[in-house]
Every structure is written in structure tokens, then in C-alpha cells.
Structure 1
Amino acid sequence: MRDVPPTVLRVLVCGILLVVPSCALGASPAERSGRPPAAPQGVTAAAGSATSVHVMWNLAAADPPVAGYEVYRGTTKVAQVPGTEHMVDVTRLAPSTAYVFTVRARSAAGAPGPPSRRVRATTPAAVAADTTPPTRPGSPHGRAVGSRAVQLSWTRSTDAVGVASYDVYQGTSKIHSVGGGQTATVVTGLRPGTAYSFTVRARDAADNLSAPGEPVRLSTAPGSDDGRGTAPTAFRAATHRADGAYYVDLSWVPPKVDGVITEYGIDLDGRAATSLVWGGTPPRGTATHSFYVGRDPGVTHRVRIRAKLPDGTWGGFSPERSVTTGS
């Protein structure tokens, strides 16, 4: 089958021209399996101890599915996990050291995709002869956020030197990790209508692990809301014309989560267009943003938005809105 040249979407945001190629049209599943997957999104890295860093990313939605992910420290591959997993602890690191990590996906045919954006983490200083674990996190509680996420919070643990991170467990499996200064998180990617039991443990720089806090038992809502419980609300879209060009104007209310949301991802016509990062204090009420979409009238665009949650994972998408330039 002859490849159809990809179309290209050009979006100018904050003075930067973003070029986003579309998928080739008409490819069979076998042909698509040989195409490299896209770069993983939502990559974060946080020190778990003086000698480890917890790296997380969003599972890629691909057809066919991603076969695996590779994690790099600088240019060195340090971990490889199946395509169904989205985090790994990178160990045997040096204390008081800054590291850079990237993640890349690999297709079933072995084709590697491009690397993700670079993320940085610095391990804390080692503490000599520290064998005392932190106290266990107190007063754990939570609530279901729609059908695919839960929000957990707890009170701080104490440690002779300081808590480096908190690990979240589902049953006996570690599923998440946040920095030692954080006492709340949103766990996403859950199944609708399912009962879960979560516990939280504190970890110090010497890798001592506390006893688990009391379990938090929660059930996600039945049905599927596609993560709407963590999506921006009151989302609106319109267009305006200025200096011969057309702009899409967005407004929304940030989702209610513990912490401040500083970044949003904007999809235009079914493709990731750009990330919006607040340079100053992000609004807690209605937020607004405009971006350039071209100079032609009568062009219809579809747009939606999602928030990067305080724990580094992406929330659900808002409803999609359609706008037409010049209407």
C-alpha cells in the first residue's frame, strides 16, 4: 500500500511555531505496527531516596498498543518495562547528584519512538548510619473522583533527617510516588465500578521505609466518564480576528484537586497542539487563553483541554468544542 503523505498542523503559541504531523492515512494495523510510536507525555521524575529516582509517564494510546518503554539516564538506558506499565524506580544513583531522564516507547515491531521531554531530579544527601525509618503517615483519607481516579491525602510523617518521598500502594503493589513535601495525590487510570484499597508509606534519604498508614478503601463510580472527574469544567471556546489573523479564545474552571495546577495540554482537531504553562500565579477561578490558528475565514476547529495534576499525571479532557473562524 502506498503511504499517504502526512498532513501538517501549524500552531503559533506565545511566539513559537509548533508543527504537529498527523498520522498517515489508510495504513493497515500491520503497517502501523512498524511505525515508531509517539514520544511519551506527562513524564515526571522525583527523588525517592539518596540513591533512587522515581520516573513516571502517561500510558500512550496507540494502535497497535505500545510494546514497551525504555528509560534513559542521560544517554544510558537504565530500565525497560512492558507497555502496560508507566513508572519505574531508577536505583544505584549517587547522593547529592542532579540527573536527567527521558522515556521512549517501542512498537511491537521493535521500532523506537522519539524521546520524551527531558526531566530533571536531584537526589538528596546521604545520611551516615541512618537506620531509623520515618513514622507512618497519619490520618489517611480519600474520595473517588469519577470512575477512573481517586484523590488521597494524609498527614506528614516525621523523620530524624527528613522524608524524601511518599509511596502509594494498591494492595501490595507500589503504584505511585510523590515528593516528601507533598501530602496529597490523585491516582488515575483506575477501572470503573471497582473497589480499591490504598496505603501510603514514607521513605527517607537513606531508603528507610515507614510502616504503612491505615488503608483507605474506595470504590470508583460505575460506568465510564473518561476521567471527567479530573477535567476542567465550564469549558468554552470562541474565535476573534486581529491584524488579519484568527485566534481561538478559551475559558475554563480548573478541576478541584489538592494543590495548584500550573500546566494544561491543548488538543486541536484531535491532535496535541501545545502545552500552556503559567509563568506567574495560576488562576484558581476562571482561566483564559488565546492562540493563533491561521488567516483563513470559515475554517472549523475542534478543541479540548486537560490539566496536569499536582502529582505530575494528566487529568481527563474537557468536552470538545467546535469553533469556526470568522463566524
Structure 2
Amino acid sequence: MHYPVKSLRLACVYGLSLLIIFIVPLLLWQNTPAKAIPQVDWLDIATEGALFVLGMCWLMVIVSARPSGRVTNLLVVGLASYCLGCYLDLLDEIFIVKTLPVYNWFEKMPTPIGLLILTCGLWLWRDEQAVVNRQLQTREQFYRQHHLTDGLTLLNDAKAFEHHLLKQLAQQQPFGLIMLDIDYFHQYNQLQGAEEGDKLLSDVAQWLSSQLRSQDLVCRYAGDRFIILLNGAIAPWVSTMAEQLQYGITALGCEVSVVWALPSPKMVVDKLSSEPTKRPLKDEAQALLKLLNEKMSQQKLNRQPLNPQTTTVSAFHEPR
């Protein structure tokens, strides 16, 4: 969400809150008597005031941190109604409101209604978070290192991918590798600008994450190149997945070159030692990555057009 939109939403919440905070006591002051100081229960004022302040803090956090949508609207409305109920309870400790039957009825409604709406919002938030968690599994595989995360696409970078590849080799489980490279991306940056190029990379990263299973992993390998690790893969499935990704990504308005490899699961053991060592596994991982890069370079060379400027226009088109 853009910052001006968030700022406007925060300003509306603050403005409405201040209006209620000042208008309601003013109306009560004009229509009901205030309690004498000996009649005031200061403990109730402290506890109900604390609930009101905390509720307002939660409301501001939700408004400032959450994106727009149904879940956010339910959370905001529920918390706002709860805060209103707490504030009315606080005023009940200061003014004698029994002389206003309408106020007595109105005072009891916001809190239960707010908690009911808030519960619905939290339940939908739970469902939303489950989807987000599945997307994060595809992106990071529970390996969270901020310095190994690409700042633009929020995917793991090449170093993080090498860590996962070593881990996969050590587990001796079958897996497949797919590498994708956006065609003529350098020319696209020159024609459309760096900002549009960054947006395309982010869109491609998000689309790839949505197309994979939760046990798979996609990383930004370098520049406009992405790499995917498919767990438990067999050759026909990896080949089919590579073709589907190459075809489906055209919906984003670009074309990609795709290569894939299917390493045989094995534990590489140093001949001079009876125990597995990290270096052979690292050599195996580097060999696999070198193989993919060589395949990609060869494919890019074979697809090199006679007139790059003409092909660049056709390679990037409006999304379908």
C-alpha cells in the first residue's frame, strides 16, 4: 500500500477518535450532572482508562500495518467499537448517566458487538495467515536470514539457495532444478526504465511462488535469473513443470528461457575419509549450478536474434 493512503487512513481514524473523545463528554456535561469526588471510583477509572488506551494503540497498529481488505476492515471496526465501549464505560464513572435511558442502552452495545466483529476478523486473519505461511514456505523453507534475502523480490538469494542445495544433497532425496532467465531484460530496462524493470522482477517472483508447491523453493539467483528446487521430482514431471512455467509466465508480458536438471540422489564421500565431508557436497552443488548456467548460456546463444531491437518489442508484450 502507498504511504499517502496509509497516512490518510490514519488521519481519519485519529480525527474521528478525537471527535468522539471531545464531543461525547461535552454532551454529557450539558445533560447530566458530574459525580462528586468522593463518589468517583478511581480504580475503575484507571482500569477502564487503561483498556481504552490499549485498545486505541491496537487500533493504530492495525491501521498502520495492515493492507486494505475485508480482514483489515473487520479488525478496525471491531477494535473501534470495543474502544468506544471502553470509553463510554470510563465516562460512566465520571457522570451520572442514569438520567439518560438512551445513553444507558447505548453504553452496553459497542463492547459485545465490537468483540463479535473482532472475533470474525481474527478468524479470517487466521485463514489469511495460513495462505501467507504456505507462500513463505515456498519462498524461504523456514531458513530466515535477512542478509541472505533479496531486497527487491523478497526471495532467498544465491547464497541461501546454495545452502538449501547442500542440505538437499545431504538428505539423499530425489529433486529437480529449474533455472529461468528473462529474455532481453537489459533492453527492457533501457526502454521502460529501471522502475518498470524492478516491478517486472517482483511480479515474476510472486507468480513463481504462487505456482509451486509448499515443499518447493524459488530463489533469485542473479539479476533477471531465477532458480527453483523441486523436492521429490522425477524427470517427466520436471520437464513438464519447466514447460508450464515457460508458457504461463507470458501472462506477465515477458518471455523466459528455461533449462532444467535432475541430479541423482547420492552422498558424496571423500575417498580419504570414512565420514562425509562438506567439501565434496559443495563441489557437487557447484557442479550442478555450473551445468545449469552453461545450459542457460547455450540456450540464450541459440535464441540470439539477428535483429535484437525488433525482437525486444515482441518479447515484451501486454499481459493477457
Higher helix share: 2
Give the TM-score taking structure 1 as reference length: 0.25
State which structure, 1 or 2, has the greater radius of gyration over its C-alpha atoms.
2
Q: What's the TM-score, normalizing by structure 2? A: 0.25
More strand by share: 1
